[in-house]
């Protein structure tokens, strides 16, 4: 499966995965992170049940701390 993540194509094994699985594969912490799929915000409580499919456009934004 290929996903477009933050405007970059990335290839993954399998045909589908959840948002939660994607973040785990990419070692992205849940806290301070927002995810949009095909231009629509995906609420954090839905990450474990939201299935990503081939060619989905995923935007991942993580808050940066510091000053």
Q: What is the mean pLDDT of the chain?
A: 95
Residue 47 in domain: yes
Q: Which two tokens stand for residue 7?
A: 């405007």
Model confidence over 28-57: pLDDT tens digits?
999 999 999 999 999 999 999 999 999 999
> Is 35 within a domain?
yes
**Is residue 27, in this structure, part of any structural domain at all?**
yes
CATH number of the domain at 48, please.
3.10.20.30
For the chain, what is the domain count? Answer: 1
- Residue carrying the six token digits 């194509």: 9
Strand 8-11 to 51-53 pairing:
unpaired
Q: What is the pTM of this model?
A: 0.90
Residue 67 lies in a domain: no
Residue 66, φ and ψ in degrees, nearest 5: 125, -170
Domain ranges, residue 58:
2-62
């Amino acid at each position: 499966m290929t996903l477009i993540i933050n405007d970059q194509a990335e290839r993954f094994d399998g045909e589908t995965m959840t948002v939660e699985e994607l973040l785990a594969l990419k070692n992205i912490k849940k806290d301070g992170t927002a995810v949009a799929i095909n231009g629509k915000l995906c609420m954090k409580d839905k990450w474990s049940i939201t299935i990503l499919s081939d060619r989905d456009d995923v935007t991942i934004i993580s808050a940066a701390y510091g000053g």
